[in-house]
Amino acid sequence: MNKAVNPNELTSDDDYGPLYAARKKVYPQSVHGTFRRIKWGLMAFCLGVYYFLPFVRWNRGLGAPSQAVLIDLPNSRFYFFFIELWPQEVYYFTGLLIVAAVVLFLMNSVGGRIWCGYLCPQTVWTDLFYAVERFVEGDRRDRMMKDKSAGALTLRRVSEIVLKNFIWLLIAWWAGGAWVLYFSDAPTLVKQLLTFQAPMVAYIWIGILTATTFVLAGYLREQVCTYMCPWPRIQAALTDEWALNVTYRYDRGEKRTSVKKAAELRAHGEQVGDCIDCYQCVAVCPTGIDIRNGPQLECIQCGLCIDACDNVMTRIGRPKRLIGYDNDINIQRRQEGRAPIYRIVRPRTIVYSAIIAAVGGIMLYTLATRSLLDVNVLHDRNPVAVRLSDGSIRNAYTVRLLNKSGYDRVIAIDANGPVNATVHVVGIDSVTPDRPMIVIPRDSTSELRLLVTAPADGNPEKSIPVRFHVTDIGLGEVASATDNFVAP
Amino acid sequence: MTDHQGEFDPVSGRSTTGHEWDGIKELNTPLPRWWVITFYLTIVWAIGYWIVYPAWPLISSNTRGVLGYSSRANLAVELANLETARGEKMVALGATSLADIEKDPALLAFARARGRTVFGDNCAPCHGSGAAGAKGFPNLNDDDWLWGGTLDQIMQTIQFGARSGHAKAHEGQMLAFGKDGVLKPDEIVTVANYVRSLSGLSTGKGFDAAKGEKIFADNCVACHGDGGKGNPELGAPNLTDKIWLYGSDEATLIETISQGRAGVMPAWEGRLDPATIKAMAVYVHSLGGGK
Ligand code: SF4
Ligand code: SF4
């Protein structure tokens, strides 16, 4: 059937086989069991958080947004419950990204593609869409039959297809809708959306995310994991022989025989495998593969085949976990008749955990100790110093004050530097000439031009450190910054 | 499929493409059809893009695209939008009196920002980008002003300039006492040393203070005033302070007295709109030396 071709006769343009492959449609069967329950639970949790979080309120006082989680782009603020982040604090997001990446690595080194199988949005929504499909069109067998007789578009069949797509569209539309709610006050935006008063960009985003959710989860499904997502390739490079992966235990499963035959052979005291070749594990697989062929790129390690096989094993009275989470080393060891070993604590996981703890700890510490009053000082570079007519020396600074709190503050500015130096802020001399005081409105920054003048004598050095203190007159909170006072 | 044409790989159960490198044969793993279709669609998209947007370079121009899109036109629109956005503030600037601008923090910030930009474009060549000046070009950060340092005086200087030829320009110059033969060389040396003594600088050997005072009273007081305190009406500098436009050493002073000085500040009226000139005055005043 396969005629060998002499390689010498080939040129590089000779290409045998198809240019493309038609996709094999997967009809996963419903399954019950431990991992299915975990998946339902995680789906409910993830989607629940995603869909409803924008509606959670958080009282931050008058004039401030009362949404618990809000990305306020126009005002460059990010609110997360009691935390309010400013643009200059984006390093928290960097930290968050680092932690997220390392958590992913840790998950991978402990349990392979747990992310793919249980938490990835693509998996979660596809799973939900499958549930809808099953609900409308029936389980695996029904769906296969219905697709085979696709020519017979009865009214019933058409209404099924319409209903399925309609429900999908509703879910997808809410996925897009929930997304935009994170960027604006949710109840207000919902009202605006319903009355067609919302900004165009909201509708555009809802449209884009509705379309992508609908197409990716409804129609592309496992193709996204196999052909679009880079993570399977990356994780293959990250994983090691200790990582737990969904594995078919050859040593126990082979040789495959029917239940009857197995019983017969066992009666004769012969060695037979537990696998009865019932194909249940293949039927339930959302990526349509046969895990008994060994680890495969397509496998998202959702564990559904474990549930399927466990059910079979229970029914035929054999021990569970013919398919289970196992590692490469144990496959080897079992075949050699040695006891399996598992090791979760190993250098790799220790390092990952340490990084997570360190970065997380630093973030928590800085978050807990960050000040709500801040001052930045920038020395004038051109000129660095000015000689005044009476011979005294003046340096100018641009001072930026940040009031991150939710109330207006009266701030006094002092400069500790050259002896007998005077401080002056351009524009406010009339109020308090010696110790300039200004008001910074809540949740805002003010930029001031500050002049420090030192008498001609008494400053023999070329450069003297000068420390600026800004004091909240009401609360006594102090922030400071250091710069230099330079002679011409 | 067309597996029968190629070789069959017994391990994977797949056909090969027939390609072999170092004994390793390439399995035929075709792309999914939707992938290939998507790929073709991107090609179609690219062709459409060439037609719709400017794309292909020609010898001296490029294909324009049927949409008539041009980033230059976009820029013009954006600049116009910026002007409109600024317009409000500029009108406010024009309508507010100089003193009141400094009392309104928002307007002050805008005036300073606007002033800084315009200063960089127009004034920096002489006064330096930070207004620190240079020899012959006044430092605008200090508190010494030839023509006065109040907001109004600064504004007037910017508007009409000095010796700029504008009808309302500041006039007045340092005469060339040596060149014109008014003072003799030894008198010039004496008065130069006298001027140095006014601001507490050291004087040369054998300097006759009384003689210097006499020469000064006869020739210089008219402009520089009694005691050399200067006169902003005439742009005559204060000779008792520590700031020297051209330099305070003896040689420079002798040169100044002999040759005279008449630096020119151009008039900006007509070249910049009134609101911008106001912004510049506010900016210069807020540099810290304004009275
Ligand atoms: S082989 Fe098993 S674990 Fe892997 S994707 Fe299929 S059902 Fe999930
Ligand atoms: S479900 Fe279990 S018994 Fe059935 S074919 Fe798969 S591995 Fe074998």
Q: Give A302-364 as a DSSP string.
A: --HHHHHHHHHHHHHT--S-SEEEE-HHHHHHHHTTPPP-----SHHHHHHHHHHHHHHHHHH
Q: Looking at CA atoms only, how far is residue B157 from chain A in angstroms?
A: 20
Domain A373-486 CATH assignment equals 3.90.1150.10 = no
Instruction: Check whether the bond before B135 is cis (ω within 30° of 0).
Output: no
Q: Is A305 in the pocket of ligand 1 (CB under 6 A)?
A: yes
pLDDT reported for residue A3 = 43
Q: Is B89 within a domain?
A: yes
Helix axes B71-95, B105-122, angle to 10 degrees: 120
Instruction: Using the predicted structure, report yes or no on whether residue A371 has a pLDDT greater than 70.
Output: yes
pLDDT reported for residue A253 = 86
Instruction: Please give the Cα distance from B223 to B237 (Å, whole number).
Output: 9
Residues B160 and B236 in one domain: no
3-state secondary structure at position A446: strand
Q: Looking at CA atoms only, how far is residue B248 from chain A in angstroms?
A: 13
A275: CA distance to ligand 2 center in Å? 5
What pLDDT band is residue A148 in, cutting at 50, 70 and 90? confident
Instruction: Please give the Cα distance from A107 to A239 (Å, whole number).
Output: 10
Of all residues in chain B, the one with the smallest CA distance to A398 is B287
pLDDT reported for residue A75 = 85
- Here the CATH number for the domain that contains residue B150 is 1.10.760.10
Flag if A387 and B243 touch (Cβ within 8 Å). Answer: yes
For residue A390, which residues of chain B lie inside 8 Å, CB to CB? 241-242
Does A21 touch chain B if contact means CB atoms closer than 8 Å?
yes
Q: Is A246 in the pocket of ligand 1 (CB under 6 A)?
A: yes
Please give all residues whose beta carbon lies within 6 A of any atom in ligand 2, as ranges.
A 248, 253, 275-281, 292, 308-309, 312, 322-323
Mutate to test the pocket of ligand 1, among A304, A322, A325 (most ligand atoms within 8 A of CB): A304
Closest CB to B36: pick one of A1, A20, A391.
A20
What pLDDT band is residue A14 in, cutting at 50, 70 and 90? very low
pLDDT reported for residue A217 = 95
What are the residue ranges spanned by the domains of chain A?
Answer: 245-336, 373-486
pLDDT average, residue stretch B5-33: 78
ipTM above 0.95, yes or no: no
pLDDT average, residue stretch A310-318: 93
pLDDT reported for residue A441 = 86
Q: Looking at CA atoms only, how far is residue B277 from chain A in angstroms?
A: 19
Residues B101 and B137 in one domain: yes
Q: Is B2 within a domain?
A: no
Residues B232 and B212 in one domain: yes
Residues B162 and B215 in one domain: no
pLDDT average, residue stretch B232-238: 90
Q: Is B113 within a domain?
A: yes
What pLDDT band is residue A46 in, cutting at 50, 70 and 90? very high
Q: Which ligand is nearest to the CA of A290?
A: 1
pLDDT reported for residue A150 = 64
Flag if A382 and B142 touch (Cβ within 8 Å). Answer: no
Instruction: Check whether the bond before A187 is cis (ω within 30° of 0).
Output: no
Closest CB to A16: pick one of B6, B144, B288.
B6
A279: CA distance to ligand 1 center in Å? 13
Residues B103 and B151 in one domain: yes
pLDDT average, residue stretch B114-142: 91
Instruction: Using the predicted structure, report yes or no on whether residue A8 has a pLDDT greater than 50.
Output: no
Domain total in chain B: 2
Convert the pLDDT of each residue in A81-120 to its tens digit: 888 888 888 889 999 999 999 999 999 999 889 999 999 9
Residues whose CB is less than 8 angstroms from the CB of residue A340 and which lie 6 or more positions away in sequence, other chains included: A326, A330, A333, A334
Instruction: Using the predicted structure, report yes or no on whether residue A7 has a pLDDT greater than 80.
Output: no
Task: Provide the mean pLDDT of chain B.
Answer: 88
Q: What is the pTM of this model?
A: 0.75
Of all residues in chain A, the one with the smallest CA distance to B109 is A447
Residues whose CB is less than 8 angstroms from the CB of residue B123 and which lie 6 or more positions away in sequence, other chains included: B131, B280
Convert the pLDDT of each residue in B244-290 to its tens digit: 999 989 999 999 999 999 899 999 999 999 999 999 999 999 887 77
For residue A17, which residues of chain B lie inside 8 Å, CB to CB? 1-3, 5-6, 15-17, 28, 30
Residues B114 and B144 in one domain: yes
pLDDT reported for residue B109 = 86
Instruction: Using the predicted structure, report yes or no on whether residue A134 has a pLDDT greater than 70.
Output: yes
Instruction: Using the predicted structure, report yes or no on whether residue A6 has a pLDDT greater than 60.
Output: no
Convert the pLDDT of each residue in B61-79 to its tens digit: 888 889 888 888 899 999 9
Write the residue with the smallest CA distance to atom 4 of ligand 2. Answer: A278
pLDDT reported for residue B12 = 72
Q: Is B291 within a domain?
A: no
Mutate to test the pocket of ligand 1, among A116, A305, A309 (most ligand atoms within 8 A of CB): A305
Does A369 touch chain B if contact means CB atoms closer than 8 Å?
no
What pLDDT band is residue A458 in, cutting at 50, 70 and 90? low
Q: Is A280 in the pocket of ligand 1 (CB under 6 A)?
A: no
Q: Is B27 within a domain?
A: no
For residue A394, which residues of chain B lie inside 8 Å, CB to CB? 141-142, 288
Of the ranges A3-7, A61-65, A310-314, A481-485, which one carries the lowest mean pLDDT score? A3-7
Q: Is A120 in the pocket of ligand 1 (CB under 6 A)?
A: no
Residues B163 and B270 in one domain: yes
Instruction: Please give the Cα distance from A428 to A431 (Å, whole number).
Output: 6
Residue-range definition of the domain harbouring residue B123: 72-168+266-285
Q: Is B196 within a domain?
A: yes
Of the ranges A262-276, A447-461, B114-128, which one carries the lowest mean pLDDT score? A447-461
Residues B235 and B275 in one domain: no
For residue B130, which residues of chain A lie inside 8 Å, CB to CB? 380-383
Q: Is B192 within a domain?
A: yes
Residues B92 and B118 in one domain: yes
- The answer to the question of whether B126 is labelled as a binding residue is yes
CB B113 within 8 A of CB B100: no
Q: How far is CA A459 from the centre of its chain?
A: 56
For residue A397, which residues of chain B lie inside 8 Å, CB to CB? none
User: Tokens in use for A107?
Assistant: 């998950």
Instruction: Please give the Cα distance from B129 to B141 (Å, whole number).
Output: 12
B2: CA distance to ligand 1 center in Å? 29
Does A422 touch chain B if contact means CB atoms closer than 8 Å?
no
Write the residue with the smallest CA distance to atom 6 of ligand 2. Answer: A281
Q: Looking at CA atoms only, how far is residue A22 from chain B in angstroms?
A: 5
pLDDT reported for residue A2 = 40
pLDDT reported for residue A10 = 43
Convert the pLDDT of each residue in B152-187 to its tens digit: 999 999 999 999 989 999 998 899 999 998 999 999
Residues B159 and B280 in one domain: yes
Residues B138 and B208 in one domain: no
pLDDT average, residue stretch A179-190: 93
Q: What percent of chain A has pLDDT over 70?
A: 94
Mutate to test the pocket of ligand 2, among A281, A293, A326 (most ligand atoms within 8 A of CB): A281
Flag if A16 and B108 touch (Cβ within 8 Å). Answer: no
Q: Is A301 in the pocket of ligand 1 (CB under 6 A)?
A: yes
Instruction: Using the predicted structure, report yes or no on whether residue A357 has a pLDDT greater than 90.
Output: yes
Flag if A7 and B18 touch (Cβ within 8 Å). Answer: yes
User: Tokens in use for A194?
Assistant: 């319903």
pLDDT average, residue stretch A182-195: 93
Does A15 touch chain B if contact means CB atoms closer than 8 Å?
yes
Instruction: Using the predicted structure, report yes or no on whether residue A4 has a pLDDT greater than 90.
Output: no
